[in-house]
Amino acid sequence: MPATELFRDIANQTGETEFYTPVPSGYQPGRTKYVIVFGTVMSGLGKGIFASSLAKLLQDQGLRVAPIKLEGYLNIDSGTLNPYRHGEVFVLDDGMETDMDLGTYERMLDQDLTRDNFVTNGQIFWAVLERERRGEYLGRDVQILPHVTGEVKRKLRDLAVKTAADVVFVEIGGTVGDFENACYIEAMRELAYEDGPENVCFVALTFILEPSILGEQKSKAAQLGIKRLLEMGIQPHIIACRAANPVTDKIREKLSIYTSVPMSRVISMHDESSIYLLPTRLQRDQVDRQVVHILNLNDRVDPRAEQKGTRTWEGFCRRIRQPKHEVTIAVTGKYTAVRDSYASLLKAVEHAGAGLETHCNVRWVDTTDLTEDGAAIALEGADGVIVPGGFGVRGAEGKIACVRYARENIVPYLGLCFGFQMAIVEFARNVCGLQGADSTEIAASTPHPVIDLLPEQYEVEGLGGTMRLGGSDVEVAPGTLASKMFGGAETVRLRFRHRYEVNPEYIDRLTGAGLVFSGKAPGQPIMQILELPDHPYFVATQSHPEFTSRPLRPSPFYTGLVAAALGRNAVGPVDANPSRR
C-alpha cells in the first residue's frame, strides 16, 4: 500500500495525525510517475533543455507527459524580472508570465502550457497563508514542514490529475544547496516516500570542470554537489554530466563509485551546435529506456509511435546539420549582451531556417547609442533585420534608425511588439511627415502620439501581471501578405505582452500614406499586424510570434523573413512533420 493511502487510513481512524499529505480528488498513487531534475555545481546548465528532451522521447513513445518548473524566488510570476538577471519573460497562452524554461518545454513538446506548469515560492507561500486564514489547518501551527512542502506536493498532484499524465517532469530551479529551493527538494523526498520509490526517478544534472591550465576534466565539484543532494535524502537514479567536451570514462567511473549510480546511468551531456540534437543523443545512450525501466512503464509504451517520432525528429535534425543555404539576420536590441534575453526569438529563427534548409547567422546590433549612420554601418550586408520587443526609452531611437534603414534599402524586416511600434513611429515621421511623432511611453509630450497606452492601462497602478497578456485571436485581412503567410486563414491566434498600441486617431493618415494593417483585434480598432505592399518583406506585429513557433511548425512571420532573406517570395505555413502533410 502506498504511504499516501496509509496516511489517509490513519487520519480516518484516529481523526488526528502528524502527517499532512494533500491528495486531490481523483489522484491515484502510481498512476502518474515523476521524473525530478536537480542541478548541482552551478545554475544555467540546461536542466530545462535536458528535462524537455527526455520528456519528448517519452512522449514519442506514446506516453502523456506534463512538465512543471519550481522556482525559488518569491515573485508571483516572472513578469517584473530584469532580462539581464533572468533571461526573457515567456508568456503562456493563458497570460501567465514565466521564465524561459517554459518556452523550452512548449517548443520541445509542441504543447501549450498553462499557469499550472509554473510554480514559485511566492505562489506557494501565498497559498499556504490563504489556507491558514481560512482555518484549513484546523488550528495547527503552520510550518515549512509539513505545510509548505505539502503545498508543493499538492501542485504536482493537481497537475497529474488535470493532465492525466503518465509522467510529470519536475524541474527544480537553481542548484542544490540554495536556501530558496530547500523546501522543494524536501517535498520531492517526501513525494517518493509517500507515493512509493518505484514511482519517482531522480536525475542530478551536474557540471564537469575542464580548466584550460590543467588540460583535463575534473569531477570534484560534481562529487561535492551530488553529496549535498545525498545529504538531503535524495539518491539519484541518473547523473547527467554537462561539459564542453565528451565526458571521459574515467570521470564517469569516479562519479559512479562516489554516488552508487551505475555507469550506464552516468551520461555525458556535452555541448552541441543545437539543443535540438540532444534528444537523439539521449536516445542513443538509452536514457529514455532507463527511465521507462526505473518507473516500470514498459506496458504503456507504443513502439510504433516511437519509430514514427524518431523518424520525424531525425529529419528535422538533418536539416539543422546539413543546411543548403546561409543568410545573416541582424537582431537589433538593447539586451544583446545577454543572449537569453532573446531565447525564443533565436529558436524561432532556427525553426524557420531548418524549415527552409537554411543556416541563419545572427548578427547582434546594440541600439543603445546607435545613430542613423551607425545603423547603416551595423546593418550593411545583412540579409534581414529583426527589431524585437522591449520597454523604455533606452535604445528606441537606435531601433527607429534600423527600421528606416531596412525600409529605405529594401532589406527584409520583421518588427516584434516594440519593433511594431517603432515601425509606426518611423513611418509617421519619415513618410507621413509627422515631425516629432513618437510613442507616449518614450515622449509623453509628443505632438503626434501615434503610439499610446491601451485604454484599459490608464487605471493600472501596479506593474506585475497588468499588461495585455497571453493569447488572443487576430483577424487577418484577405489578399494581404499576412493572409498568404497564414495559408488564407481568416483568424489566427497570437500571444501578446504590451501596454501600448497604435493610436486609432492616426490610422487613416498611416494607411493613406501606404501602410497596410493586415491584422487587427476582432471588432476593435486595435491594429496588430502591418505590412508595406511595395517592399519585398516589411512586416511587423504587436504580438510575439516567437512564443508560438515550434521546431516542426515554425512561425509564418519568421519563415517569411528567412524566405525573403533568401531572395524568395514569402511562403505560407511550413509544416516540417511529414505525418501531418
Of 237, 359, 448, 544, the catalytic one is 544
Are 328 and 234 in the same domain? no
**Per-residue pLDDT for 311 more than 90?**
yes
The last residue of a domain, from among 281, 316, 351: 316
**Cell 530545462, located at residue:** 48
| 279-301 pLDDT per residue, tens | 999 999 999 999 999 999 999 99
Let me know if 544 is a catalytic residue. yes
Domain of residue 41, CATH code: 3.40.50.300
User: What is the SS3 assignment for 317?
Assistant: helix
Q: Distance from CA of residue 286 to its chain's centroid?
A: 26
One domain for residues 282 and 361: no
What pLDDT band is residue 21 in, cutting at 50, 70 and 90? confident
Kindly indicate the confidence band of residue 465, based on its pLDDT and cuts at 50, 70 and 90. Answer: very low
pLDDT above 60: residue 36:
yes
- Burial string for 343-375 (b: 16+ CB within 10 Å, else e) reads bbbbbbbbbbbbbbebbbebbebbbeebeeebb
Q: What is the pLDDT of residues 425-459, one digit of tens each?
A: 999 999 999 999 999 999 999 999 999 986 654 45
The total domain count for the chain is 2
Same domain for 40 and 154?
A: yes
Q: Is residue 411 domain-shared with residue 537, that is, in the same domain?
A: yes
| 295 lies in the same domain as 333 | no
What is the reported pLDDT for 139?
Answer: 81
pLDDT of residue 395: 86
Q: Out of 417, 441, 498, 535, which one is annotated catalytic? A: 417
Pair (298, 329) in one structural domain: no
Cα(165)–Cα(262) distance, integer angstroms: 28
Question: 29 lies in a domain?
Answer: no
Q: What is the pLDDT of residue 568?
A: 76
Residue 2 placed within a domain: no
Same domain, 264 and 395: no
- 282, 316, 350 - which closes a domain: 316
Residue 544 lies in a domain: yes
pLDDT of residue 572: 67
Same domain, 347 and 276: no
Which of 316, 333, 363 marks a domain boundary?
316
Instruction: Tell whether 8 is covered by a domain.
Output: no
417 part of the active site: yes
Q: Does the pLDDT of residue 569 top 80, yes or no?
A: no
DSSP assignment of 360-409 equals: EEEEEEE-TT--HHHHHHHHTT-SEEEE----SSTTHHHHHHHHHHHHHT
Contacts of 61 (CB under 8 A, 6+ apart): 288, 292, 301, 302, 303, 305, 306, 309
CA-CA distance, 445 to 150, in Å (whole number)? Answer: 53
Do the domain assignments include residue 19? no
In this structure, are 493 and 361 located in the same domain? Answer: yes
- Report which of residues 569 and 139 the model is more confident about: 139
Residue 5: what pLDDT? 58
CATH classification at residue 506? 3.40.50.880
Q: Identify whether 418 is part of a domain.
A: yes
Please, how many CA atoms are within 13 Å of residue 273, restricted to the half-sphere of its CB?
Answer: 10
Residues 351 and 489 in one domain: yes
Clarify whether 546 is annotated catalytic: yes
Check whether residue 279 and residue 348 sit in a common domain. Answer: no
Q: Does 24 fall in a domain?
A: no
Residue 28 lies in a domain: no
Look at residue 14 in the predicted model and tell me its pLDDT: 45
pLDDT value at position 576?
57
Domain hosting 73: range is 35-316
> What is the reported pLDDT for 454?
65
Instruction: Note whether 506 and 368 are same-domain residues.
Output: yes
